[in-house]
Structure 1
């Protein structure tokens, strides 16, 4: 497939609009959605286009039949199937019989702001390139069903604590996933050297930005430093990351910078000047311009929209 023909979506709402799905419930700022697919795909078979999306999707198949693709891998879905896909991969899905399938879609920013600040440290399996689906018996699946239905009720409520309730329930969801079938999962099981390189790059990226945000690092890593961490030539690392994820390293770094900036702006009392410094910007004006370039909103306005009255 030619890259220029590929559909790339950075926001949930943009993907939903393209697929002619309802977007009235989706908040541009929350980056979260949950719904039963039977309510929006009224005709089967349904076959989606191939696309790349910059968010996570968790799918719970109670009573449906279909399949989905992640890059070059094809997986069947049957009653009792649970799977998730992470950002940056080719994706498509189809349904031959569609009766009861819940899908939770959320961004990394939402995960860090409402689920766990060190989400990938606590749940490292989410760094895996491709995790195969699992089929659970009725009793085990019912435990997940109770959780995703509670999440859906919280999402549809008008409570001012909606996101906090969703976050708490999702922690339990991830712990159950970790306990039941990903506790001992090793994402290098595929025996693919490129997969190992991508996994290590994602882990190093996450750790470095965690160090930046808490003051343990004083400058933003460039390609050379990520390459040095794996004893690779920077051109080779860039080639592997681009071919395996569809995104250049510079894009990964930019998206991570914005994700960390959003989290600090929304969830801390740190000044914008200090946030800029922590994220490697020598001038707060440079950071503000960078943030607005990537989000179409200034850091000050972003804070105000999230109820934080600091500057």
Structure 2
């Protein structure tokens, strides 16, 4: 799995890489600014989301499917499916933005994996007519202009633009009112992700996470822990523990930024009996201790 940091290093030689401490690490680019430096795309999973408005011809590879696009196309890429695409030709125009799950978790607590747009088995590729293209291009242009402003609420505004893209795409798609799972493993994985996300509606320091280990989730899902670990890895490319610990780290960053709770209270709410254990966990995941993170926000 390619990380967002590796993506910047691979595509941009590290240029334009956002601060790792920024929640969600959102960024947006114009395709025409990147064409000459574009390298062949690796067919791997990424640990981030990517939304692309593409005006040109190419072949995009989702999992074991290859989809040729021509003209104006809106595409979505997400961590559950490996993807790649052929070299971008000169004259190609459009935009793309990249962000991590926690970009949404900070304010909306929206689990992107719950959207039909990112359901397994259906690559989200949408051909656009001229009117639709102009609407999507206008949204991207506003994000592109906003990202360089000093407006204190710019990321909240950008999230609203990104919301427009997500729900517009679902409106353009076929009947997405009912989720359909390809197999039992995919269904169990979806239930695990949903169960993981729902317990993070923490509002008071006295509340605590109840499910913190793969064994906890396997018990609630009534499956063997080995089976859960196997199908989650197969479906998402990440272990059950990686999902759990990544989500706990994201919530810790959110609570440090948006609450006045002391660090001991935050650690307790996230299931750590000792502040020292929480400090060690946070530093391993974020690269600094909670106090330093809160001070640098």
TM-score by length of 1: 0.83
2:27 is matched with which residue?
A: 33
Structure 1 pair 123–78 and aligned structure 2 pair: CA distance change class (3 A): farther
Instruction: Determine which of 90, 96, 99 is the counterpart of 1:103.
Output: 96
* CA distance, structure 2, for counterparts of residue 107 and residue 59 of structure 1: 15
1:105 alignment partner, SS class: strand
In the other structure, the counterpart of 1:3 is none
Tell me by how many angstroms 1:22 deviates: 5.9
Matched with 2:59 is: 67
Q: Kindly tell me: are residues 33 and 91 of structure 1, through their superposed partners in 2, closer, same or farther at Cα, counting changes over 3 Å?
A: same
Q: Which secondary structure state, in structure 2, belongs to the residue aligned with residue 47 of structure 1?
A: coil
Quote the Cα distance in structure 2 between the aligned partners of 1:218 and 1:258. 13
Please tell me whether the aligned partners of residues 127 and 199 of structure 1 are also in contact (alpha carbons under 8 angstroms): no
Question: Is 1:256 aligned with 2:212?
Answer: no
How far apart, CA to CA, are the structure 1 residues paired with 2:204 and 2:187?
26
Does the 8 A contact of 1:52 with 1:89 survive in 2?
Answer: yes
- Determine helix, strand or coil for the equivalent of 2:138: helix
1:244 aligns to 2:224 (yes or no) = no
- Once superposed, what is the RMSD of the aligned Cα atoms? 2.7
Q: Supply the distance in 2 between the matched residues of 1:28 and 1:176 (Cα, whole angstroms).
A: 30
Name the SS for the 1:201 alignment partner: helix
List per-residue Cα deviations over 1:249-299 (Å, max 9, x = no partner).
Answer: 111111111111111111222221111111111011210110001111111
Q: 1:125 and 1:149 mapped to 2: Cα distance?
A: 25
Give yes or no for the alignment of 1:200 onto 2:200: no
Hey, what's the Cα distance between the residues in 1 that align with 2:209 and 2:153?
35
CA contact (8 A) 1:125 1:182 kept: no
Q: Are the counterparts in 2 of residues 56 and 105 from structure 1 also a CA contact under 8 Å?
A: yes
Question: Is the contact made by 2:205 and 2:266 (CA closer than 8 Å) also made in structure 1?
Answer: no
**Who is 2:15 aligned against?**
23
Q: 2:49 maps to which residue?
A: 56
For residues 89 and 135 of structure 1, the distance between their equivalents in structure 2, rounded to whole angstroms, comes to 20
Counting only pairs closer than 5 Å after superposition, residues 22-171 of structure 1 correspond to structure 2 as 23-24=15-16, 26-30=18-22, 31-42=25-36, 47-61=40-54, 63-95=55-87, 97=89, 99-113=92-106, 116-120=107-111, 124-125=115-116, 128-132=119-123, 133-171=125-163
How far off is 1:218 after superposition? 4.2
Corresponding residue SS for 1:52? coil
Q: Larger RCO: Structure 1 or Structure 2 (Cα < 8 Å, ≥ 6 residues apart)?
A: 2
Question: Partner of 1:195: helix, strand, or coil?
Answer: helix
Q: Is the 2:116–2:176 contact (alpha carbons within 8 Å) kept by the matching residues of 1? A: no
Equivalent residue pairs, number: 293
Shift of 1:229: 3.4
Which residue of 2 is the match for residue 270 of structure 1? 261
How has the CA–CA distance of structure 1 residues 106 and 214 changed in structure 2, closer, same or farther, with 3 Å as cutoff? Answer: farther
Contact conserved, 2:8 with 2:17, CA < 8 A, in 1?
Answer: no
State the TM-score, normalized to the length of structure 2. Answer: 0.87
CA distance in 2, matches of 1:16, 1:25: 6
1:109 and 1:86 mapped to 2: Cα distance?
A: 13
Compute the displacement of 1:153 (Å).
Answer: 0.3
Structure 1 residue 183, shift from structure 2 partner: 7.1
> Could you report, residue by residue, the CA deviation over 1:136-191 in whole angstroms, capped at 9, with x for unpaired residues?
222122211111110010012233333232123223333323433377254425x3
